[in-house]
Chains A and B, each alone.
Chain A
Amino acid sequence: MKHKLRILALAVVTVNSAMLSLPAQAEVVVIVNKAVTASASREELRRIFLGKSNNLEDGTRLIPIYLPDGNAEREELGIKLLKKTPSQLEVHWSKLQFTGKGERPSTVSDAQAMVNYISKHREAIGYISPSALTNDVREIARF
């Protein structure tokens, strides 16, 4: 266990320094739990990440998890998949939240926390930078 932790800590340091040297990474990987076998279209993913649906067409239930505001991948996903700037996305959540029609998604602190959470929750879907991808989760799309 101790050994494993050390490797994890090392990975964290490596990834952190990688992020420092690449301020605006162009790609974002959408990840799900390894138990999820379904595939998802761009339209299905858009709907799920905007909180408009929690199901893929085949019935697979997915709950979106976000990285915090200011995160580069959050911005990438916003622009490429959701077609919203950070402020427009915030407006979107405010409308859902303050009309009682929905809730803003839960967030995790960083990519490692995301991988960890997704690997433990069958219904969670999130996104990370390609460099943070590990075997603990499954890539379902890349933008």
Chain B
Amino acid sequence: MLTWIACGSVLTGPVSAEFNLGDVKISGFGSVVGGQTLDSNETLYGYDNDFSMHPESRFALQFIAPISEKFKATAQIMARGKDDYTPSFEWAFITYKATDDLSFMAGRQRFQLFKYSDYVEVGYAYLWIRPPRGVYDIQFNSGDGVGVHYRTHFGEVDTNFTYKIISIDIPDFVPQGTNLTPGHYEINNANLFNADLTWDYLNFGINLIYIPKLSYDSPLIAPVADAVRQFGYSESTVQDILAREDPVKVYGAYIGYDPGDWFVLAEYTSVQLDPSAFADQDSYYLSAGFRWDKLTFHTTYGADENTASSNADQVIRPSDVLPGGLPLKTAVSQAVNAQVSESDYYSFGVRWDVETQVAIKLEFTNFNDKKFDAKDAKLISTSIDFVF
């Protein structure tokens, strides 16, 4: 206290280092997550029947450096258990704050496909151990580009609007949970628009994304497309198998009501692709729960349906047979239906707010594959999530 008085008496500006805007602010978040499936032949979300803390544990540091009154630089470094905690720059962008309510960002930044996408890694910020996977099984959370964020209010309704143009170029992309040969993945100038509004206990938002060009040279698809080309089919048939400069549309909407003691939330998302071997995706989930002191109990039901975006196999002649003896029609059919699936899941969980910045969670998930019973799985997972 004496020190403080001594400080205060000579002070003309801020009273402690905490106000020193010239300082870089360091903060961070992390989740230590462990889980295992209940049966020896089950796998889910990267877990199997042996307890593992690898698939979902992560740790991040965020640095915010004020450059001037209007400019600041933000960097976020993230290390994931599944990458053996090799750190990478998730964010590296500069913000220009035109007004308190309007800012522009340029550089590598997170983008919001759906409600939780832009903080999907921050386990502390939501109730589940992982946001419903049917919706949030997204390969990327950040990309390079520019964005604008505007906030305002209409009466008692608070609103946020963001618009971003983001590109992603990964020369050696390997889809999550696979050990495929790396392939080139590229998204050019994806347009992402989000609006959300909060009115008292009601929360509503929409996400609209248009990707003019998406390309992925998948090692599973290219040989099939090459064969189709060699049998003399038109280039448009070949392009209905390949994902090459294909336009993609993504829609999402969510609505929630949270008066404090209990809550309900629903989200729906849809991904519509130009015809290729990759499937269109429709997903939704419903979630509800109640709070009792420092405990929140919650349950979620979700369903996902992936349908073939292409019917290229229908134009293939049954008489065309590959050198190995496999009919070309079968090979193409397998390729365009490879991602077709239908599944649903439910979960029960509890979050315990141990301290203000620390939460412990326990969750049970029952996943049901409607096409392949062998993919059904029950998962128990637990986590400790923190921010600092």
Chain A residues within CB distance 8 Å of chain B: 1, 5, 8-9, 12, 43, 47, 52-55, 61, 69-70, 83, 85-87, 90-91, 94-95, 97-101, 103-104, 106-109, 112-113, 116-117, 120
Report chain B residues within 8 Å CB of A95.
Answer: 119, 122, 125
Report chain A residues within 8 Å CB of B93.
Answer: 100
Counting CB contacts under 8 A, is B285 at the interface? no
Q: How far is the CB of B358 from chain A (nearest CB, A)?
A: 9
User: Which of the residues A8, A47, A101, A116 comes within 8 Å of B158, measured between beta carbons?
Assistant: A47
Report chain B residues within 8 Å CB of A103.
Answer: 25, 64
| Given A100-B109, A101-B160, A108-B18, residue A113 in contact with residue B119 (CB < 8 A) | no
**Number of residues on chain B facing chain A (CB within 8 A):** 52
Distance A8 CA – B4 CA, assembled complex (angstroms)? 11
Report chain A residues within 8 Å CB of B118.
Answer: 99-100
Counting CB contacts under 8 A, is B43 at the interface? no
Counting CB contacts under 8 A, is B9 at the interface? yes
Distance A98 CA – B162 CA, assembled complex (angstroms)? 15
Check A8–B5 contact: CB distance below 8 A. Answer: yes
User: Which of the residues A83, A85, A94 comes within 8 Å of B125, measured between beta carbons?
Assistant: A94
Report chain B residues within 8 Å CB of A104.
Answer: 27
Report chain B residues within 8 Å CB of A43.
Answer: 156
Report chain B residues within 8 Å CB of A90.
Answer: 124, 356-357, 387
Counting CB contacts under 8 A, is B22 at the interface? no
Distance A61 CA – B60 CA, assembled complex (angstroms)? 33
Check A52–B151 contact: CB distance below 8 A. Answer: yes
11 contacts between A and B (CB under 8 A): A52-B153, A53-B151, A54-B100, A94-B119, A100-B74, A100-B95, A100-B109, A101-B162, A106-B18, A108-B15, A117-B14
Q: How far is the CB of B95 from chain A (nearest CB, A)?
A: 7
Report chain A residues within 8 Å CB of B124.
Answer: 90-91, 94
Counting CB contacts under 8 A, is B154 at the interface? no
Q: How far is the CB of A97 from chain B (nearest CB, A)?
A: 6
In the complex, the chain B residue whose C-beta lies closest to that of A89 is: B356
Distance A61 CA – B93 CA, assembled complex (angstroms)? 27
Report chain A residues within 8 Å CB of B15.
Answer: 108, 113, 116-117, 120
Distance A83 CA – B15 CA, assembled complex (angstroms)? 29
Q: How far is the CB of B280 from chain A (nearest CB, A)?
A: 28
Counting CB contacts under 8 A, is B324 at the interface? no
